[in-house]
Amino acid sequence: MKRHRVHKEKTDIAHSIDWNGLIPKHIAIMMDGNGRWATRRGLPRSAGHYAGMQTMRETISMCHKNGITSLTLYAFSTENWKRPKEEVDYIISLVVEFVQDATVQELNQNNIKVHFIGDISRFPEETQEAMHKVVKLTQANSGMAVYFAMNYGGKNDIVQAIKSYIEVNIEQNKDTSEISEAEFETFLYTGLNPAPDLLIRTSGEKRLSNFLLWQAAYSELWFTDVMWPDFNEQLLYESIRDYQQRKQRALDDITT
């Protein structure tokens, strides 16, 4: 009975979206609350991260199914190194676990292309190899792009972009005194695909926490109290419906 009700709500929300109208093309997610999810169940925090990885896998599939073209996931921040070594090591080990053959096969079946953003050189060799492997094995895909933010920080992104910009321009003997916003942002880790239309954060926190500081300048923000491992399709639909309603209101305000 309960299962039936949940399914009905889910489809009602999906039906309240105009799928030919304004749909976010690029969604970014701050997957927060794994630790609290586990602690509330009397489980170690690692169990929360494992469950979070499964939800991440399902979310990639849901976004693909619903026509989202880019998905950026905040998986490991520059601040996350401050956590106990055991927890850091566990989260990092999940990357290798994620890049099992089965996952790569699924990504390829769904035509999904994987990218990593952030300074991945700080990760162990084995992890970097796994990252390069999944990027290489999915690089020919032309469907949805998934960006995993790993050792990513928005401030660090801006600083590394400034350094690269100067380096490239000095190499080519170009004048660095004039720079446009459009030119600058191509040097960010997100390259030619910078701005999320919709940024979701789970677990009730309402901060940007150094995620996509430049790129999220005009993003619609959507928050839920639900912990990341419990994120589901119904919540994804709610966020898309709210995004669409806000955008429609903004259009109505301009035209009336």
Which secondary-structure segment (H or E) carries 115?
A: strand 113-117
Task: Indicate the Cα dihedral angle 139, 59, 221, 145, nearest 10°.
Answer: 10
Considering only residues 119 through 178, tell me which ones interact with ligand FPP, judged by CB under 6 A: 148
Catalytic residue check, 210: no
Catalytic residue check, 156: no
Considering only residues 79 through 118, tell me which ones interact with ligand FPP, judged by CB under 6 A: 80, 91, 94-95, 98
**Closer of 35 and 153 to ligand FPP (Cβ):** 35
Residue 71 CB-density burial (10 A; 0-12 exposed, 13-18 middle, 19+ buried): buried
Structure tokens, 196: 């999320």
Residue 188 and residue 194 in contact, taking contact as beta carbons nearer than 8 Å: yes
Please identify the residue of the shown chain whose CB is closest to the bound ligand FPP: 35
Structure tokens, 22: 């304004």
Number of residues that bind ligand FPP (CB under 6 A): 18
- Shortest distance, CB of residue 75 to ligand FPP, whole angstroms? 4
> Of 23, 27, 28, 56, which one interacts with ligand FPP (CB under 6 A)?
56
- Shortest distance, CB of residue 124 to ligand FPP, whole angstroms? 14
Instruction: Return d(Cα 72, Cα 219) in angstroms, integer.
Output: 13
Residue in the structure block whose two tokens are 């609290």: 36
28: phi then psi, degrees, rounded to nearest 5 = -115, 140
Residue 134 and residue 100 in contact, taking contact as beta carbons nearer than 8 Å: no
- Shortest distance, CB of residue 179 to ligand FPP, whole angstroms? 33
CB atoms within 10 A of CB 87: 15
For Cα atoms 119, 138, 162, give the angle at the middle one, nearest 5 degrees.
30
The mark string for 202-221 relative to ligand FPP (x by CB under 6 A, - otherwise) is -x------------------
- Shortest distance, CB of residue 196 to ligand FPP, whole angstroms? 17
52 binds ligand FPP (CB under 6 A): yes
**Closer of 25 and 36 to ligand FPP (Cβ):** 36
List active site positions. Answer: 32, 80
Contact residues toward ligand FPP (CB under 6 A) are 31-36, 49, 52-53, 56, 75, 80, 91, 94-95, 98, 148, 203
